[in-house]
Amino acid sequence: MPIEEVESTAEDIEEMEIRGAATIAAAAAEALGAQAAASDAPDPDAFEAEMRRAATELYETRPTAVSLPNALRFVLQGMEGKTVEAKRESIRSAGRRFRNDLETAQERLGRIGANRLRDGDVIMTHCHSTDALATVEHAVSDGKHIEAFVKETRPRNQGQITASQLRDMGVPVTMIVDSAAHRYLNDVDHVLVGADSIAADGSVINKIGTSGLAVNARDRGTPIVVAAQTLKLHPGTLTGHTVEIEMRAETEVISADDRADIGEITVENPAFDVTPPRHIDAIITERGQFPPESIVSLMRELYGDMDEEPWTDPE
Ligand code: RUB
């Protein structure tokens, strides 16, 4: 039961060639579909075991963005039929449905989020979020003039991807280093970020630096808006689990040579942080805009009674 189809996707997610919560989810769903298509499992049980192993391989790549397990669950739970052929087809079609739903959700979310943005507004962004950019794209296509301060987002500089995509939309961009955010927040109408996971209490887990930005925004009285489709709701937090924060390589922060020059130091590189609900004004989803404290009811409605990890072996 080789699982070659998912192995390269898993590697790309781990290496961040594929990155960002929604993009990771779409790629994982596609990889499961490709694995199902290529499978030469001799019988239905072997096929199911192969799918579970493929999902586990993908699941173990990055721990923080819940869109990944949510995608895997959606596709695996779509598996039905008694023969290998039937199971194969159902996985492939669940994968297609998942990616289609994701696109539709982002489109809806974008339309809803665009209503918050007025002609002439200035936003500040952190990292690169396709959900957040969908709201700007809709606002711009509605004819609104939007300008942006884009934080570079050390250590991986995902702000450059945001800057480039905003420029493609015709949005004037001012790039700033992360520590300049407070200085410019008086000139900003909305801080607009995405999310990797949203916890049941309305906390938002997003790229490291989001929580500091939110505190600064509160200090300046600038609203902080999170654009996150419901795929980012973390069902495990309904039952008391916490969201694991990914720690990444120290070499993303400082090169081995520079570090050796300095001498004995400790380097920490958490990829994400947690912004408490009191620092967030609104969460925009494809189901509408929510105050963070009320997101739990939507989470119960959508994920209330699910099997948390269908990829674990039932035996
Ligand atoms: C990406 C990141 C993004 C969210 C939302 O982190 O924190 O803000 O994933 O993105 P990384 P999207 O670069 O480490 O994956 O809205 O595209 O799902």
Quote the pLDDT of residue 20.
98
Per the annotation, the verdict on 127 as an active-site residue is yes
Q: In order of start, what are the domains of the chain with their CATH numbers?
A: 4-108 (1.20.120.420), 116-303 (3.40.50.10470)
Quote the pLDDT of residue 306.
72
Cα 169 to Cα 154: distance, rounded to the nearest angstrom: 24
Per the annotation, the verdict on 187 as an active-site residue is no
Quote the pLDDT of residue 120.
98
Quote the pLDDT of residue 313.
77
| Residue 58 near residue 13, CB atoms below 8 Å | yes
Cα 313 to Cα 181: distance, rounded to the nearest angstrom: 47
Q: Average pLDDT of each block of 10 consecutive residues along the chain (315 residues)? A: 87 97 98 96 97 97 97 97 98 98 98 98 98 98 98 98 98 98 97 98 98 97 98 95 96 97 97 98 98 96 81 77
Quote the pLDDT of residue 315.
66
- Rounded to 5°, angle at Cα 259 from 254 and 265: 100
Quote the pLDDT of residue 307.
67
Quote the pLDDT of residue 51.
97
Enter the pTM of the model.
Answer: 0.96
Quote the pLDDT of residue 214.
98
Rg of the chain on CA atoms, in Å: 20
Any atom of ligand 1 within 6 Å of the Cβ of 281: no
**Choosing from 12, 121, 131, 196, which is the catalytic residue?**
196
Question: Torsion over CA of 35, 32, 240 and 285, rounded to 10 degrees?
Answer: 170
User: Which residues face 233 on adjacent strands?
Assistant: 198
From the list 120, 22, 21, the residue with the least C-alpha distance to 65 is 21
Half-sphere exposure of 231 (CA within 13 A, CB side): 33
Quote the pLDDT of residue 308.
73
How many residues are present in the chain? Answer: 315
The DSSP element (H or E) to which 162 belongs, if any, is: helix 159-168
From the list 50, 66, 4, 61, the residue with the least C-alpha distance to 31 is 4
- Centre of ligand 1 from the C-alpha of residue 260, in Å: 32
